[in-house]
Structure formats: C-alpha cells, structure tokens
Amino acid sequence: MGAQVTGISLPPTSNPNLFSLANIDALTDSHFIDIRNADALSNVIEKTKPEIVFHLAAQALVRASYKDPLATLATNVMGTANVLNALLKIDTTKVVVAVTTDKVYENLESGHPYKEYDKLGGYDPYSASKAAAEIVISCYRNSFLKQAGIALASARAGNVIGGGDWSEDRLIPDAIRAWTSDSPLLIRNPNAVRPWQHVLEPLNGYLLLAEKLYEDPSLAKAYNFGPNTHEAATVGDVIKLANGIFGSGNIVWGEGINGPHEAGLLTLDTSKARVVLGIKPRWALHESVSRTMEWYKKLNSNHTAYSLCDADISAFIDTKISS
C-alpha cells in the first residue's frame, strides 16, 4: 500500500514463527522492544514520527495470564499507556487504532451479543487487563489525544484463525502440532461458543477504520469486529471442520472441567462496524477454516510462508462482499 512501516515487538517466542518464515524483517524497520520499557519505546516513536499507529502488542493468551497475571497486566495496561503517552511527545500522528479483544465485556454468558456500550469486565487476568486497557484508551482519548488532533479508536476483535500462528493454547495451532506429530488433540471444552473469523477480516477492518478516522476524527470510538452474530460456532464445530480438511488426526473430547475458568459462551454484535464503517465479513466459517488448514498443509509441501500470505490477501481482496 506504499506505507513505510516500523514494527515494535518482543522477539518471536515460537519456532517456527511467521516473522522469520515470511522474512518480515526485510519488509519493515523492526525493533525488538518490550512496551513496558517506556523510555526505549518512546525513543523509537520519537525517531519514527508515525502518522498512523496500530497498537496490537499484548500478552494475548487467556491461560498464560493465569500463569503470570502481573506481566499480563503490566504489558496490556501500562504498555498501552506507554504507547499512547509517547505520542504526546510528537506532532505527526493523526490516527491510532488500539486493538483489545472481544473479552473486554462483563460476560454473563446469557446469549446476549455484546455491543460497544455494554459493561466492561474480566474474570481472568487477560480479560481484566484488556478491559482496563479500554479505560486507559478512553482516558487518553478524552484527556490528551483529542486536543492534540489525534483520533484514537479501539478495536475489539473476536477469535481469530489463519495460517502462520504457532502460539500455545490456541485451537488451530494446537491441532496442527498434534496432527503433524500423530498425537491426539485434547479439546478442553468442545461446547464453548466463540465468534470465529479469519485473521484477514479484522486486519481489513483495522485498515478501513484507520482510513475513516483519518477522514473523520469524530469516528474515534470503540468498534467490534467479528462474523455475523448468527455465525458464531462451537469449538467442536470448528475442530471437526479443521480435522476433515486436514484429512487425519485423532481428537480427545474433554468436558470443560479441567483447568482455569474460560467463558463458555461469547458472541458479538458487529452492527456498528457495518453501519458506521461499511465493514462486512467476506469469508464464512467453512471458508476461513479451509483456508487456514490449507495454509499449513501447503507450508509443509514447500510453499513459502510469504507466498501463502500473499495469496490469501489477494483472494480476500478479490472476494465479492455479499449485501
């Protein structure tokens, strides 16, 4: 798209990882920085002087947050504050899209699809940290950034799948690891319902949101990104689809009683993004799962990660949006 991109992140934590396989370092000005380090972060931002900022850096795993709640809170709450505070030292930034999660809502598991004005909350440390980050975002928007001419919006995305993810305790990466090593895949809670979407759906939404904010700063609010509400699906449904497309692999079905608490039901109302931003989902669940599993299968057949990502992006752009 012609942008000069600077990336800030921790070093990759998995092997393999998409950063290395797709040679992202050659495409961006990359910096390995912990966003809890306010000085190091601020130094790069002051030198870069970005016009548009996408803040996605986070401790992004629910089960990991139980193991290290303080690191999760420090990264997701103070890390967010560090990013936003650093922007007050420069005069070039016009737009910020800060990505949180669909888990920022106080989830009563009542079947109610959550809207942007619903009450924030968080049972587990990850959800609580992201809800707190939303409060930090609102504070900086109203107290500082609006007056500085910076349009700051938050993006709350549903569960994301797609090629190139090797994180622990995520459904598809766990499946790929198990099935490629002929090990059984344990599904802890097959009846849990989530708003699944291909990774390109929210990424497309973030880019469109940034474009809209650049044109109209009054749109600087919170937005949900996910599939149509009725297309939320259970973990069991998703993994059965994935297993059929992969073509092999054993599954052990759990009963949702082992391990720390995880929500059983979560759905989003994404009508605001549709009406205000004109964003509509392009790939339904089967297409999203199919493309995800084919990505990993083709990678194991000597396709390059970069070419697979590029092909997915081209196919996504060429997909006709239904009315």
Tell me the backbone φ, ψ of residue 195, rounded to 5 degrees. -85, 85
Average pLDDT taken over every residue of the chain: 95
Is 232's pLDDT higher than 90? yes
Residue range 292-306: average pLDDT?
97
Reduce the DSSP state of residue 157 to 3 states and report it.
strand
Predicted confidence at residue 257, as pLDDT, reads: 63
Residue 182's identity, in one-letter code, is: D
| DSSP code of residue 265 | B
Pairing relationship of beta strands 151-157 and 95-99 according to DSSP bridges: parallel
The alpha carbon of residue 219 and the mean position of all alpha carbons in its chain are separated, in whole angstroms, by 21
| Structure token digits, residue 211 | 């474009």
Distance CA 46, CA 88 (A): 10
* Strand ranges (E), the chain: 6-9, 29-32, 52-55, 95-99, 151-157, 160-161, 185-187, 193-194, 197-198, 222-225, 233-234, 251-253
Dmax over Cα atoms in the chain, in whole Å? 57
Residue 95 and residue 151 in contact, taking contact as beta carbons nearer than 8 Å: yes
How many percent of the chain have pLDDT more than 70?
A: 98
Is 130's pLDDT higher than 60? yes
Distance CA 288, CA 161 (A): 7
| Structure token digits, residue 121 | 């909350």
Is 148's pLDDT higher than 60? yes
Is 163's pLDDT higher than 60? yes
Q: Output the CA–CA distances (angstroms, integers) from residue 54 to 50, 116, 229, 316, in the order listed.
A: 10, 20, 26, 21
| Structure token digits, residue 259 | 């391990």
Predicted confidence at residue 322, as pLDDT, reads: 67
How many percent of the chain have pLDDT more than 90?
A: 93
**Residue carrying structure tokens 């319902």:** 193
Is 320's pLDDT higher than 90? no
Predicted confidence at residue 73, as pLDDT, reads: 98
Predicted confidence at residue 255, as pLDDT, reads: 80
Residue range 6-16: average pLDDT?
95
Is 260's pLDDT higher than 90? no
Question: Which domains can be identified in the chain, with CATH numbers?
Answer: 6-317 (3.40.50.720)
Predicted confidence at residue 323, as pLDDT, reads: 57
Question: Across the strands, what pairs with 225?
Answer: 157
Is 105's pLDDT higher than 80? yes
pLDDT digits (tens, 9 = 90+) for 272-296: 999 999 999 999 999 999 999 999 9
| DSSP code of residue 104 | G
Reduce the DSSP state of residue 247 to 3 states and report it.
coil
Reduce the DSSP state of residue 29 to 3 states and report it.
strand
Pairing relationship of beta strands 222-225 and 151-157 according to DSSP bridges: parallel
Q: Is 255 left (phi over 0), alpha (psi -120 to 50) or beta?
A: alpha
pLDDT digits (tens, 9 = 90+) for 40-94: 999 999 999 999 999 999 999 999 999 999 999 999 999 999 999 999 999 999 9
Distance CA 214, CA 22 (A): 30
Distance CA 198, CA 242 (A): 13
Considering only CA atoms, which of 193, 203, 194, 218 is closest in space to residue 279?
203
**Residue carrying structure tokens 């089967």:** 286
Whether the link from the prior residue into 260 is cis, omega within 30° of 0, is: no
pLDDT digits (tens, 9 = 90+) for 166-185: 998 899 999 999 999 999 99
Is 111's pLDDT higher than 90? no
Is 258's pLDDT higher than 70? no
Considering only CA atoms, which of 315, 317, 322 is closest in space to residue 291?
315
pLDDT digits (tens, 9 = 90+) for 205-228: 999 999 999 999 999 999 999 999
